[in-house]
Amino acid sequence: MLTRKQYELLIYINDHLKTKGVSPSFEEMKEALGLRSKSGIHRLITGLEERGFIRHLAHRARALEVLKLPENAEAGNGTAPRNAFAPKVIRGQFKPSTARAARPEAGAVELPLYGLIAAGTPIEAMRDNTASIDVPASLLGTGEHYALSVDGDSMVDAGIEDGDTVVIQRCDTAENGTIVVALVENTEVTLKRLRRRGDSIALEPANKKYETRIFGPDQVQVQGKLVGLIRKY
């Protein structure tokens, strides 16, 4: 799933390609989305690449190719559709996992299944009203937990594949080298390995196709750490 800004940028790029036959410049994308800097556009493009929605064409300037659109995409006229993105969510608070009733016969606990869907909103406040998943109780420790559906291949070398479900323990700090759910500049939620480099924080992918991104300490908020993974065959 995409954040609001990722969705807006993807639709804008797609419409620009259709109407003008060339990808928009970073300056055009920045103006269309109302962002203050081109670095924000770079982060959005990186997120779209990781999720398989766009790709760069080699040896061509301003060359982006749209590979797919979300199912709810609505074509526009070259401007970002600011009101088209409407994920079905409700706002609320976590219930501690200790308060959820385990199912003795199955040895499972029902966890809320969250998605990477809301820009600027802490992941714990976003919940599909109907989505949940049964998780083996053995994967859970103390504290609060939730599950996320993985979208993209940026963590494949860590054994996390597109379509997997990861089990996350809620926390706001994590040790160096931990795979975390991170909220970046209140605009993007991502699953990456956390590295501290002096006063900076690095979010490392586990796929050589993608680059490590460096942020200041105030730009990244840890929202949980990986404690388990579920894969369906």
**Other CB atoms within 10 Å distance of the CB of residue 8:** 25
At a CB cut-off of 8 Å and minimum separation 6, what does 122 contact? 183, 221, 223
23 is catalytic: no
192 is catalytic: yes
Structural Rg of the chain based on CA atoms: 18
Q: Which of 5, 30, 97, 154 is catalytic?
A: 154
Q: Which of 39, 138, 192, 209 is catalytic?
A: 192
Catalytic residues: 154, 192
